[in-house]
Amino acid sequence: MADANPLPPVPSTNTAPIGLTTPLLFGPLFNWALYGILLVQTYVYSYNFPNDKLYLRLLVYLAFLLETAQTFLTGFDVYHWFVAGFTNVEILERPWYTPIDLPIMSGLIALIVQMFFCSRIWILNKRLWWLCLLIAVLSVTQAAGAFWDGFKALQEADVVKPSLYLWLGSAVFADVLIAVAMAYLLIQKRDNEIQFSNYILRRVVRLIIETNVLTSTVAIVTFALFVSFPDEYYFIAPATVFGKLYSNTLLVTLNNRIYFRDHPFPGVSRDSVYHGPTHPSERRLSIVNPSSGHALALRTNDTFRLDTLSSTIDPEKGKATSLLQT
């Protein structure tokens, strides 16, 4: 019995070029994979740090909500391109929601995360205020370029080169400056006499350097693909994961405090660490500092908050002032 609604025949000519379909497909796939990682990271954060300061929790959940919205919009794009527009090559040229979920939302998320790291630099060394101001200006500039590119693409259904240059170029410079500032702080504290505090700072700073190098590398690759292949859409694949990399960077940095709970200090045996109640917010550590022999009673949820590192090390004197902020 013949099918009453046969599928349309696949055209033998006018097929979509691989340079168009490949980034439109693989970009969202990588985006969704990173969203799965972000989902797990958000759960880990909410479970382990329920008593974080309100602004940190709002920052995390705002980034997660924005990424969730971007994931749904990316799904709508893929549906229109490869399902509703099946066999229609011309429909692949339509941006649909791409101007919103790619430049606009990615630029907004990048602004949030870069300003977070900018505030960390300010807390760790207030003498770098001028560098923090420069990073903030670059971060706002990249967000403005992203919004410009997105709104122009909604009107013209095409990529606007000046705005794309402004967006990606400013993002690269902001990430590089963040990494350089953290590298400077790492070198500055290398000879710090307080080994316990120095250990915490080194791990946090090294992680921030690595993550910002990653985001800046992706931005450079996106920019290079756009310049090298201006008539192709290769740059869309790395650009699609831009926002997810920033949000995962934020969560990795915050969740890295769990490491300090399980590995409090080099040379400290597991017998030196006492875990109290099972809930992370109520656990306490009792650690013997090998350099001084003094015991430190630490509450894990408060001790290793990134926003208390300013009270951990005095940038001017290089001395530990307080390991707790209650």
The Cα-based distances of 244 to 35, 48, 75, 229 in angstroms read: 7, 22, 15, 24
Q: Is residue 166 within 8 Å of 145, Cβ to Cβ?
A: yes
What the block records as the tokens of 91 is 């429909």
SS3 (DSSP) at 247: helix
The percentage of residues in the chain with a pLDDT greater than 70, rounded to a whole number, is 70
Alpha-carbon distance 279 to 49, whole Å? 10
Q: Is residue 100 within 8 Å of 288, Cβ to Cβ?
A: no
Instruction: Write the pLDDT tens digit of every residue in 37-83.
Output: 999 999 999 999 999 999 999 999 999 999 999 999 999 999 988 88
Q: Is the pTM of this model over 0.85?
A: no
Instruction: Write the pLDDT tens digit of every residue in 93-103.
Output: 777 888 898 89
SS3 (DSSP) at 286: strand
Q: Which residues pair with 298 in a beta bridge?
A: 285
Residue spans of beta strands (DSSP E) within 110-257:
none
Q: Reply yes or no on whether the pLDDT at 299 is more than 50.
A: no
